[in-house]
Structure 1
Amino acid sequence: MTGPTVPRSTEPEPAAGWAPTPALGRAVLLAGLLLVAGVLLGRVDLIVLAAPFALGTAYALRRRPTALPQVWISPGDDGPLVEGGDVTAAVSVGNPDTVDYDLVVLRTRVSPWLRIFRAGFARDGAAEVPPAATTPIGGQGPAGGASRSAADRPFVTSVPTGSVVDLELVGRALRWGRHPVGPAGARVATAGGLLVSRAVIIEPVRVRVYPRTEPFEAVEAMPRAAGLVGAHHSRRPGEGGELAGVRIFAPGDRLRRIDWRVSLRARQLHVAATLSDRDAEVVVLLDVLAEAGRSGGVDGAASVLDTTVRATAAIAEHYLHRGDRVSLLEYGPSARRLRPAAGRRQYLTVLEWLLDVRVTSSSHEPYDQVFGPQLLSSDALVVVLTPLLDERSAQMLARLTRAGRFVVAVDTLPTDLSSPKDRGWAEVAYRLWRLDREIMIGQLREHGVPVVRWAGAGSLDQVLRDVARLATAPRVGGR
Structure 2
Amino acid sequence: MTWRPTQAAAGAAAVGLSALAVGVFFGRADVALLGVPLVLGAVLGRLGLPVGRTSAAFDGGGPSAVPGEIAETLRLTAAAGSDVVHLRVFAPGHRPADVVVPGQGERELPLRLSSVRTGPQTTFRADVRGYGPLGASAEDPQRLGAPDRLVLPEASRLGRVPLPSRLRGLTGPRTSRRLGDGSELRDVHPLGPGDRLRRVDWRATARRSPTLDTLYVRRTFATAEAGAVLVLDSRDDVGPDLRTWRGSEPLRVDEPTSLDLARHAAASVATALVDAGDRVGLEDLARRRRPLTPATGKRHLRRILHALALTAPVGTPARRVRPPQVPTDAIVYLFTTLLDDAPLTLVEAWAEQGVPVVVIDTLPDVHPVPERHLTLAWRITAMERADRVRALTARGVPVVRWAGSERDRAAARFEVMVRAAERHRPVAGARR
RMSD of the TM alignment (CA)?
4.5
Cα distance, 1:419 vs structure 2: 5.5
Output the CA distance in 2 between the equivalents of 1:425 and 1:61.
Answer: 62
Output the CA distance in 2 between the equivalents of 1:301 and 1:52.
Answer: 54
Equivalent residue number for residue 310 of structure 1:
264
**Do the aligned partners of residues 245 and 103 (structure 1) sit closer, same or farther apart at CA in structure 2, a change above 3 Å counting?**
closer
2:394 matched to 1:409?
no
Equivalent residue number for residue 251 of structure 2:
none
Q: Give the TM-score normalised by structure 1.
A: 0.65
**Do the aligned partners of residues 19 and 366 (structure 1) sit closer, same or farther apart at CA in structure 2, a change above 3 Å counting?**
farther
Equivalent residue number for residue 85 of structure 2:
104
Equivalent residue number for residue 53 of structure 2:
68
**Do the aligned partners of residues 56 and 321 (structure 1) sit closer, same or farther apart at CA in structure 2, a change above 3 Å counting?**
closer
1:264 to 209, 232, 236: 209
Equivalent residue number for residue 235 of structure 2:
289
Equivalent residue number for residue 255 of structure 1:
197
Q: Where does 1:378-397 land on structure 2 (aligned, <5 Å)?
A: 378-397=328-347
Moved more, 177-186 or 317-326: 177-186
Equivalent residue number for residue 175 of structure 2:
233
Cα distance, 1:466 vs structure 2: 7.0
Cα distance, 1:288 vs structure 2: 1.5
Name the aligned partner's letter for residue 88 of structure 2. Answer: R
Name the aligned partner's letter for residue 228 of structure 2. Answer: V
Output the CA distance in 1 between the equivalents of 2:9 and 2:387.
Answer: 77
2:226 to 270, 277, 280: 280
Question: Among the aligned pairs, what percent are the same residue?
Answer: 26
Output the CA distance in 2 between the equivalents of 1:27 and 1:422.
Answer: 55
Cα distance, 1:278 vs structure 2: 0.9
**Do the aligned partners of residues 324 and 153 (structure 1) sit closer, same or farther apart at CA in structure 2, a change above 3 Å counting?**
closer
**Do the aligned partners of residues 242 and 29 (structure 1) sit closer, same or farther apart at CA in structure 2, a change above 3 Å counting?**
closer
**Do the aligned partners of residues 386 and 204 (structure 1) sit closer, same or farther apart at CA in structure 2, a change above 3 Å counting?**
same
8 Å Cα contact 2:12/2:42 also seen in 1: yes
Write out per-residue CA displacement over residues 72-117 of structure 1, whole angstroms, 9 at most, x where no aligned residue: 3469xxx94344x8x77654431253x3x134332121243xxxxx
Write out per-residue CA displacement over residues 235-272 of structure 1, whole angstroms, 9 at most, x where no aligned residue: 33210123344443124422342352575289533333
Output the CA distance in 2 between the equivalents of 1:446 and 1:53.
Answer: 84
Name the aligned partner's letter for residue 146 of structure 2. Answer: P
Output the CA distance in 2 between the equivalents of 1:179 and 1:302.
Answer: 13
Equivalent residue number for residue 166 of structure 2:
224
The secondary structure found in structure 1 opposite 2:184 is strand
Where does structure 1 lack aligned partners over 5 or more consecutive residues?
Answer: 1-14, 31-50, 113-147, 473-479
2:132 matched to 1:190?
yes
**Do the aligned partners of residues 433 and 412 (structure 1) sit closer, same or farther apart at CA in structure 2, a change above 3 Å counting?**
same
Equivalent residue number for residue 386 of structure 2:
438
**Do the aligned partners of residues 423 and 221 (structure 1) sit closer, same or farther apart at CA in structure 2, a change above 3 Å counting?**
closer
